[in-house]
């Protein structure tokens, strides 16, 4: 553009100044337009309340051994269980051939803290909330969870062991943010 607007006989100095002014004007315009549009785009991000709901932080240090804590996240019951050393040792020796949906111990426990299992507490057969969060209540033959609707049984790692259900309990996306808390989402 500078070539066409500058006069053929113009000194190069003037052409350079004109280029500079043009770049300055375009850069100023771009910065202005971006700063006008930025609030409009940013307003579509979730607000503080929505973000806290979408990514809740849960304290897990208060869960007793062999018990599970139930919280609701995005309308789903999420179960967080603390395993005993004995349960971990027992789970390690279960043969994969005995499992309807084979999964290793390392694939079921929380990465970074092998004493915790985090699963979605809905039966994978008939959708029903599972029982077995406290050691005193009903929890099936495998020490874990049992479905009150179709009788499917799960072990402490959330792997299906018997019943109409054929798949293990799904594991939600989560991360330990320190030794005592996890964040979902």
Partner 1 sequence: MQTEAKQGWLAARVPGLGCVCGVMREGRAPGAPWLAALPVLLGALLALLLASGAVISVYYNPWHAYASLQGIAREVRGGWVVLGYHQTGASLIFALLYLHLFRLLLVRGYRAPAEFAWMLWVKLLAVLLLTGWLGFVLNGGAGGYASLFGASNAAMGLAGFPGAVAMWFLGAAPGGATLARLLVFHVLLALCAGWVIWMACAAARKARPAPRGRVVPFWPVYASQYFAALAALALVFSVLLGFAPHWGQGAQNTIPAGTMAMPVVSWPWYLTPLAGLAGAFPGVLGHVWAVIVAVALLYALPWLDRSKGAAPGRVYAALTWLLGLDVLALGYVTAFPMGGLLPELLTFWFFFHFLVLTPLVTMMEAA
CB 124 within 8 A of CB 101: no
CB 81 within 8 A of CB 71: no
Quote the CA–CA distance of 64 and 100 in Å, as a whole number.
Answer: 29
Residue among 52 and 57 whose Cβ is closer to partner 1:
52
Please list, residue by residue across 119-138, b when 16 or more beta carbons sit within 10 angstroms of its beta carbon and e when fewer do: bbbbbbbeeebbebbeeeee
Stretch that binds partner 1, among 46-54, 63-71, 127-135, 156-164 (CB under 8 A): 46-54
Task: DSSP letter for 96, please.
Answer: G
Interaction between residue 135 and partner 1 (CB under 8 A): no
Interaction between residue 49 and partner 1 (CB under 8 A): yes
Interaction between residue 37 and partner 1 (CB under 8 A): yes
Q: Which of 8, 47, 75, 137 binds partner 1 (CB under 8 A)?
A: 47
Stretch that binds partner 1, among 6-14, 45-53, 56-64, 144-152 (CB under 8 A): 45-53
Neighbours of 83 (CB within 10 A): 23
Q: Which of 7, 12, 44, 62 binds partner 1 (CB under 8 A)?
A: 44
Interaction between residue 134 and partner 1 (CB under 8 A): no
> Rounded to whole angstroms, what are the CA distances from 159 to 12, 104, 144, 180?
78, 10, 9, 25
CB of 43 to partner 1, least distance (A): 5
Q: Which of 7, 8, 36, 93 binds partner 1 (CB under 8 A)?
A: 36
Quote the CA–CA distance of 66 and 82 in Å, as a whole number.
Answer: 6
Interface ranges with partner 1 (CB under 8 A)? 1, 5, 25, 29, 32, 36-37, 39-40, 42-45, 47-49
């Amino acid at each position: 553009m500078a070539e066409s607007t500058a006069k053929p006989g113009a000194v190069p100095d003037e052409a350079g100044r004109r280029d500079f002014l043009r770049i300055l004007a375009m850069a100023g315009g771009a910065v202005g337009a971006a700063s006008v549009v930025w609030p409009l785009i940013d307003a579509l991000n979730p607000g503080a309340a929505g973000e806290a709901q979408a990514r809740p932080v849960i304290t897990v240090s208060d869960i007793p051994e062999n018990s599970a804590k139930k919280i609701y996240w995005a309308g789903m019951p999420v179960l967080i269980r603390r395993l005993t050393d004995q349960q971990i040792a027992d789970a390690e020796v279960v043969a994969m051939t005995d499992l309807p949906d084979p999964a290793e111990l390392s694939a079921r426990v929380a990465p970074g803290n092998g004493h915790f299992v985090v699963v979605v507490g809905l039966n994978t057969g008939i959708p029903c909330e599972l029982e077995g969060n406290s050691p005193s209540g009903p929890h099936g033959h495998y020490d874990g969870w049992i479905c009150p609707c179709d009788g499917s049984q799960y072990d402490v790692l959330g792997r299906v062991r018997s019943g109409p259900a054929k798949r293990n309990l799904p594991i939600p996306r989560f991360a330990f943010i320190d030794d005592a808390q996890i964040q979902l989402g």
